[in-house]
Amino acid sequence: MQDLLTFMGYSNQLKKFIKESKTNNLKTKHFDSSYEDLKVKVSFGAGVVARIPWVSFLTEGQTTSEGIYPAYLLFKNDKKLVLAYGISETKAPIVKWNLKNAVKISDFFAKEGLNKPERYGDSLVFKVYNLNDLPSDEVLDADLSKIIDEYKSITFSKSETENKIQIQGEKFSYKSFLNQIDLANLQFSEGLITRFISSLLTKPFVILTGLSGSGKTKLAQAFASWISENDNQYCIVPVGADWTNREPLLGFPNALDTNEYIQPQNGALNLIINANKNQDKPYFLILDEMNLSHVERYFADFLSAMESKCGIELHSKDDLDSVPRKIELPSNLFIIGTVNIDETTYMFSPKVLDRANVIEFRVTTEEMSTYLNHVGEVNLKTLAAQGSNMAAQFVSLAKQKVASAAGQDEIKEPMLAFFKELKKTGSEFGYRSAAEILRFVSIAQMIKPDWDLKEIFDAAIMQKLLPKVHGSRKKLVPVLESLGNLCLKQDIKIADVFDPKIETDYAAVSLYPISLEKIARMYGNLMDNGFTSYAEA
């Protein structure tokens, strides 16, 4: 079958690709998945129609988000089809094209007086076709065969990758952690694990909220123990109900002895100092029951330092009792807060929520059934240091400046739609949140390349956009209905989804099922109590 496809050439598939790019159909399963022993990936967008549809031809070990590959890039606005020496935008590839005097697509477009390419400008030109005047099938097939021959002549040896691994440690894999948590008798879904790790890598401040006893602290402790060399790299600090300033975390200079600095016994300050000294290792500050006190009081310096990168002043001397005058919050320091909601706790302000990814923990009937059938004592010792060989790579990913990734363009329109609806309640997001959502998409695709874009954006909605939504029935009813509609597939009525008498299969009716289920719960609470918020007891 493969020989027959090669003999026929790819021009028929290419013309079908061009024709379908003029529609709103995003399905690609009807396209051939291989050609000339290469894997073929086709994309018209995910969730919304892409401005630049593409076809990539991939050898083993190369992906569209991390590698090099021949690619057709369809610039619809300019009516140009570029056969390109493709270069991944998400992560810089290790292997390079063997080319001399190659021209970037962005430079070619500028020379021709065309629009600046919105994406893929760094990929290199092999051939540019006018969509209104394509050459014959024979020419198209011959051009593709030539670039594929060049591609196959490249040596994709593992030596270069292995050298990088020797420098940075073993390549980070979330699946390794996922596979090993069973040994500790912990039960977390793959979706929750990928959201948690992607959030940490996006920005090292994550809040875990939801059902009490659902494993929030255990997940934070398990991951920190798994990826750390020893328990000196993580610290679990129970937040006290009497915390009114930063001293429980950062200590204070002794007013009676000017040569002494009183460090907190919980080890938080020492952890931060060590993180600054060893920036190739991850360190984890886990704040348990973070909202037992007003977060804004004891955590204000941290919130400011996260954004300003200016550090936190501790005292006025050059060095005091081995404590520096100022400490930074380095990018290898990951802060995880756990939150329970009841009458003894405080709500977070928008400025706190805006700086974090908020992940809600819930337990499904199936998960509870599985737990009851496999009850066992949690044993975190089995995880200790099992992922420490991936720690340097994990830190490297957290520090990495992520370029525009495949799929970012496709989520910009739905992001704007959510912005418009949230603005009606004063819960709209700013530039920081928008940038962090785009980074989250890039990171998620990097650690799990086959993660569907709609599922990634669903997680982003849930973690970055909905947490700030709260208010009265009069204020929120129309907004929650509008937000719910943005999540729905066509021909589904939001009234049916919100009807408590109707059992809804959210995955079947929604583009973003996790977010829609949350919106529906918030709507139900609004109807029952006259007020609703993201946080639930």
Domains of the chain: 2-156 (3.30.920.90), 174-399 (3.40.50.300), 408-533 (no CATH)
Report the amino acid identity of residue 224: A
* Spatial distance between the Cα atoms of 425 and 476, rounded to a whole number of angstroms: 7
CB count, 10 Å around CB of 14? 21
Instruction: Bin 208: left if φ > 0, else alpha if -120 < ψ < 50, else beta.
Output: beta
Q: Is pLDDT of 161 > 60?
A: no
Residue 66 CA to residue 100 CA, distance in Å, equals 22
Tell me: the pLDDT tens digits for 102-139? 899 999 999 999 988 888 888 999 999 999 999 999 99
HSE toward the beta carbon, residue 393, CA cutoff 13 A:
19
Task: Determine the pLDDT at residue 353.
Answer: 86
Lowest mean pLDDT among 4-8, 234-238, 367-371, 400-404: 4-8
Range list of H helices, 134-202: 137-152, 159-168, 174-180, 190-202
For residue 502, the tally of other CB atoms under 10 A from its CB is 9
Rounded to 10 deg, the angle between the 513-529 and 453-460 helix axes is: 30
pLDDT in tens, 382-418: 899 999 999 999 999 999 876 555 567 788 899 999 9
Give the position of tokens 């975190």. 380
Indicate the pLDDT class of residue 20, thresholds 50, 70 and 90. very high
pTM over 0.85, yes/no: no
The pLDDT of residue 13: 94
Percent of the chain whose pLDDT exceeds 90 = 60
Which residue from 93, 25, 24 is spatially nearest to 58, judged by alpha carbons? 93
- Greater confidence, 72 or 187? 72
Cross-strand pairs, 69: 86
Q: Is the pLDDT of residue 258 over 90?
A: no
The secondary element (H helix, E strand) that includes residue 308 is helix 300-308
Inter-residue contact 234 to 224 (CB < 8 Å) = yes
Q: Is the pLDDT at 157 greater than 60, yes or no?
A: no
Tokens standing for residue 138: 């024979």
Give CA–CA dist 455/460, Å, rounded: 9
- The pLDDT value recorded for residue 164 is 41
Report the C-alpha gap between 65 and 445 in whole angstroms: 7
